[in-house]
């Protein structure tokens, strides 16, 4: 099972849409400025009850339906995200639980906007070595929860959403053919999102700032990131093609990270390729970081931009700095899953949630009978209650 083929894909974006005109009423900006500098018209915003994990679950469930794969057959779940609700449990573990994927390993991957391509390569390698037979790779983000809504230079750029693919091992040549993963930590200050270490000591209060920005919000040097992005898209595409013994002429479509249209236009120029070779949907999604490539892939399939035997390149770039490209032969036609079967799947997810709750209660009851403290006894009462409700 040397080759890891994409056999399923799915996306989920929240219903709520925030347009440039909405932003005009919130901050000092204009639809004209945002459209001209970024190409973005609108973005989706997660609802109060939605989290990175629930978006990821919806995308994964749709990808599994296309693949016609039962959740209990899934062996690996990778979630690329920069906006997990918890450091642990990982978002991937929560998705595993929601799906009822009882035989899957699960972990999160942190490589910012390159995360999905990193995850794709990790999963393809695990399949190629025989470690697993299949995997779900998800990019999921709630970026709008980590924005400084007073910083007009960043808050107009991002949106929320999730996209997923199912990979399956096969002896038929194709699938993920070659990848290039790169990083340059010296540019970490150009694009950052502080986490644990930068949480304020309580006495410092909310006025504690990091890098000139409010804590736990994105800080970015837009111009430097622009320069970096246009260069690494071209470099990583060339390098990946060289590894696969191919040239740009063999490529049918490039699905880049959807940061903004000007970066994509500049990269197309650098590669001397027509703009149409690059799929874009950033106009309607904004920058959804690790989710942007799988969401764009789903839209490209829906728009008929990918045909069997096409060669498609995914190319990501972002915080770290990180960048990555993957060349995929798109040669598996999905099975036609009937409506009753799809509905039956949804019922299984309700069952999976019920079973998970029963397991949790069972554990607590066992601890109570045994008289030993529950594993989370060390949490303060308030914390404990809110986490119980969350999880």
- Site size for ligand ACO (CB under 6 A): 24
Instruction: Give the residue ranges of DSSP H helices in the chain.
Output: 20-26, 31-38, 52-67, 91-99, 115-128, 152-155, 222-243, 261-271, 282-285, 292-302, 339-370, 381-390
154 in Cβ contact with 98 (< 8 Å): no
Based on CB atoms, which residue is closest to ligand ACO, 32 or 390?
32
**Which is the catalytic residue, given 287, 298, 311, 331?**
287
Does 298 participate in catalysis according to the annotation?
no
Q: Please, what sign has the CA dihedral across residues 144, 146, 149, 154?
A: negative
Does 113 participate in catalysis according to the annotation?
yes
CA 155, CA 289: separation in Å to the nearest integer? Answer: 13
Based on CB atoms, which residue is closest to ligand ACO, 24 or 239?
24
The residue from 71, 100, 174, 318 that contacts ligand ACO (CB under 6 A) is: 318
Based on CB atoms, which residue is closest to ligand ACO, 71 or 316?
316
CA 390, CA 190: separation in Å to the nearest integer? Answer: 33
Based on CB atoms, which residue is closest to ligand ACO, 288 or 331?
288
The residue from 142, 144, 260, 326 that contacts ligand ACO (CB under 6 A) is: 260
Query: Which CA distances in Å does 304 have to 52, 179, 186, 253?
Result: 28, 24, 40, 11
**Which is the catalytic residue, given 213, 257, 281, 298?**
257
The residue from 222, 231, 238, 305 that contacts ligand ACO (CB under 6 A) is: 222
The residue from 287, 311, 326, 331 that contacts ligand ACO (CB under 6 A) is: 287
Q: Does 191 bind ligand ACO (CB under 6 A)?
A: yes
172: Cβ contacts below 8 Å, ≥ 6 apart: 3, 5, 331
Helix, coil or strand: residue 213: strand
Based on CB atoms, which residue is closest to ligand ACO, 156 or 253?
156
Q: Does 41 bind ligand ACO (CB under 6 A)?
A: no
Q: Does 223 bind ligand ACO (CB under 6 A)?
A: yes
Q: Does 295 bind ligand ACO (CB under 6 A)?
A: no
The residue from 101, 140, 156, 255 that contacts ligand ACO (CB under 6 A) is: 156
Does 257 participate in catalysis according to the annotation?
yes
Rounded to 5 degrees, what are φ and ψ at 221? -100, 95
Q: Does 38 bind ligand ACO (CB under 6 A)?
A: yes
From the CB of residue 128, how many other CB atoms can be counted at a distance below 10 Å?
15
153 in Cβ contact with 220 (< 8 Å): yes
Q: For residue 120, give the nearest of 131, 136, 99, 107 by alpha carbon.
A: 136
Active site residues: 113, 257, 287
Binding site for ligand ACO (CB under 6 A): 29, 33-34, 37-38, 113, 152-153, 156-157, 191, 220, 222-223, 225-226, 229, 259-260, 262-263, 287, 317-318
């Amino acid at each position: 099972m040397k080759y890891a083929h994409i056999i399923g894909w799915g996306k989920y974006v929240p219903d709520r849409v925030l347009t440039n005109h909405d932003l005009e009423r919130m901050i000092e900006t204009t639809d004209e400025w945002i459209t001209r500098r970024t190409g973005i018209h609108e973005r989706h915003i997660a609802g109060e009850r939605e989290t990175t994990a629930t978006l990821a679950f919806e995308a994964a469930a749709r990808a599994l339906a296309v693949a016609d794969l039962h959740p209990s057959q899934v062996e690996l779940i990778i979630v690329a995200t920069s906006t997990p609700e918890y450091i642990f449990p990982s978002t991937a573990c929560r998705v595993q639980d929601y799906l009822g994927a009882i035989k899957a390993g699960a972990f999160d991957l942190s490589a910012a906007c390159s995360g999905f391509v990193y995850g794709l390569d990790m999963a393809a390698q695990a399949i190629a070595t025989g470690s697993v037979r299949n995997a779900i790779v998800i990019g999921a983000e709630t970026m709008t929860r980590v924005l400084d809504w007073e910083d007009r230079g960043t808050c107009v750029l991002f949106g929320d959403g999730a996209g997923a693919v199912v990979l399956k091992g096969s002896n038929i040549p194709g699938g993920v053919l070659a990848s290039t993963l790169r990083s340059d930590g010296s540019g970490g200050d150009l694009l950052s999102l502080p986490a644990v270490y930068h949480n304020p000591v309580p006495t410092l209060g909310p006025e504690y700032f990091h890098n000139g920005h409010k804590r736990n919000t994105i800080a970015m040097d837009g111009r430097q990131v622009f320069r970096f992005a246009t260069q690494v898209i071209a470099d990583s595409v060339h390098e990946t093609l060289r590894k696969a013994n191919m040239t740009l002429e063999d490529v049918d479509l490039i699905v880049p990270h959807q940061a903004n249209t000007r970066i994509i236009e500049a990269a197309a120029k650098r590669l001397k390729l027509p703009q149409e070779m690059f799929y874009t949907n950033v106009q309607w999604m904004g920058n959804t970081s690790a989710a942007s490539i799988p969401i764009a892939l789903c839209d490209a399939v829906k728009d008929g931009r990918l045909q069997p035997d096409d060669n498609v390149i995914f190319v990501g770039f972002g915080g770290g700095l990180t960048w990555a490209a993957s060349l995929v032969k798109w040669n598996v036609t999905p099975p036609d899953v009937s409506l009753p079967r799809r509905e039956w799947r949804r019922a299984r997810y309700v069952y999976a949630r019920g079973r998970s709750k029963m397991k949790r209660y069972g554990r607590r009851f066992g601890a109570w009978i045994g008289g030993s403290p529950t594993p989370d006894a060390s949490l303060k009462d308030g914390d404990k209650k809110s986490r119980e409700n969350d999880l």
